[in-house]
Structure 1
Amino acid sequence: MTQSINTSSHVKLNFALHHASGQTIDSTFDKGAVELTIGDGNLLEGFESCLIGLVTGDHQTFMVPPQEAFGQHNPANLQTIKRHQFGPDMVLEQGLVVSFSDAANTELPGVVKTIDGDNVVVDFNHPLAGVELKFEVEILEVS
């Protein structure tokens, strides 16, 4: 009897994550399979839910809306920071990823969006926030 994926299954799979435009963001198809346990927090819930019910040998593609992937883009996550807060030797340019620490001393990456004189706008949204993603999976083993 073929075992289907449930909320505590151990799964070996290949996956590819594609931007809705078709650009490949990440893929294991050319690197080798990964193993994970459903519900262990290694895969976002929106992607895990696509796997439930699949069996060894399944090769499926799912469209995952932003709210089930990396969330919607939140304008409140755009912060204006004064240039002098970055340090005198840092070369700032649009698209630069800068690491900050929050109040709990957790690393918080942000992307420089604009630089206007002493004002630097940093976007703390996930780079894939607001993006519909195509999630392709090939199930190699379920236990």
Structure 2
Amino acid sequence: MQDSRITLDETDSRLLAALQRDAHLTSQELGEELNLSPSQAGRRRQRLEAEGLIQSYAAKLDPLRLGLAVQAFVQVQMARHGADTTTAFSRLVATQPEITSAWTLTGEADYLLRVYCEDLAGLNRLIHQVLLAHPAVSRVQSQIVMDQFKPDAPLPT
């Protein structure tokens, strides 16, 4: 297996940290922060984008202002495993806008889903009418988030 890790120098690391704090930084602002000319800062950013290290830029939205008052983590255990089951469950997850991220796991649960719903009734509907209705799902366990005391943090660079 090839190592896909990209070697970064100190300036690259600082550039990535700055962009994770604020993806709107211009080349001029990056250059000032990194003690580079705007063109040097812009070229470094373009190189990191071209190498796939910077995958995308996105806006971080406030779930409460969008009316999404319930955040939960949902563990899903499958009764059956196989390529068809995995494909069908992945397709189901992709069609549910409340499910914002999903991971496959080791251990008792097969999947961990992060969900945002308007209310407990919405979470209940998602669990009972969508997830448990899938023929290969045997068990669902949810943990409702009471408070997120550390926001999603930037990746260490």
Question: Is the structural similarity TM-score above 0.5?
Answer: no
Higher strand share: 1
Higher helix share: 2
TM-score by length of 2: 0.26
The structure with more radius of gyration:
2
Tell me which of the two structures has the higher relative contact order, counting C-alpha pairs closer than 8 angstroms and 6 or more residues apart. Answer: 1
TM-score by length of 1: 0.28
